[in-house]
Amino acid sequence: MNRLVRSMAVIAVLLGSIFLVAPNPADAQGVGVKGGYLYSSFNLEGAPNVLDSSNSWMAGLFFGGNRLGRVGLMIEINVLAKRDEGDMESTTIYYLQVPWLLKINARSSRNVSGYGIIGPAIDLRVGDDFGNLGDIDNIDAIERTDVSLVVGVGVELTRFIIEARGTWGLRNIVQSAEGVDVKSRTFAILFGLRFN
């Protein structure tokens, strides 16, 4: 119960800070939704056969981006399902991800524009559907937070968005296992809709 209360408090603080510093929606020139395919994998050192790669999903909201300018700040609130498909069972770890992205716009016309994004993200583990993780038999072995770098490119066609992005975890997410270094990686193809 204490763990749930702590997780909810951290999530509330993060969301509160986003809404305090996020630009006014009228000035943000971009509020919308994105979602799509997520391929998750793990860079393993000293931990063979602990986690495998698999297909899953990602969905979320975005704010900002300064679509009409050259450069802007875009903040997102995403839910990621990182799945491990083992021989016998599958495991899914759910994260709330909050990226702070520098968005570089390259407008070619009023209705079509390309962009690039880069920035840090904080991933909070908010749930799991735990199966068999081989050497890691306890969800507490997986760290509750991860820090990652997000890099991507996208195209906006009027209000519709197509985006490809990669995310590289910067922390060892299995710190309780001695000699094991596991860093998460994801690749996503996202489709979205901008509301303004």
Contacts of 29 (CB under 8 A, 6+ apart): 64, 65, 66, 67, 68, 69, 72, 196
Q: What is the pLDDT of residues 73-109, one digit of tens each?
A: 999 999 998 876 655 566 788 899 999 999 999 976 7
Please tell me the pTM assigned to this model.
0.76
- Residue 21: pLDDT over 70: no
Q: Which domain holds residue 107?
A: 2-194
pLDDT in the model for residue 26: 45
Residue 24 has φ and ψ, to the nearest 5°, of: -55, 135
Region 155-165: mean pLDDT is 94
Instruction: List Cα–Cα distances, 99 to 63, 140, 159, in angstroms.
Output: 11, 24, 21
Q: Which residue in 136, 134, 128 sits closest to 176, CA to CA?
A: 136
pLDDT in the model for residue 25: 46
CATH number of the CATH domain containing 40: 2.40.160.20
Could you tell me the two tokens for 17? 């800070």
Number of structural domains found in the chain:
1
pLDDT in the model for residue 101: 96
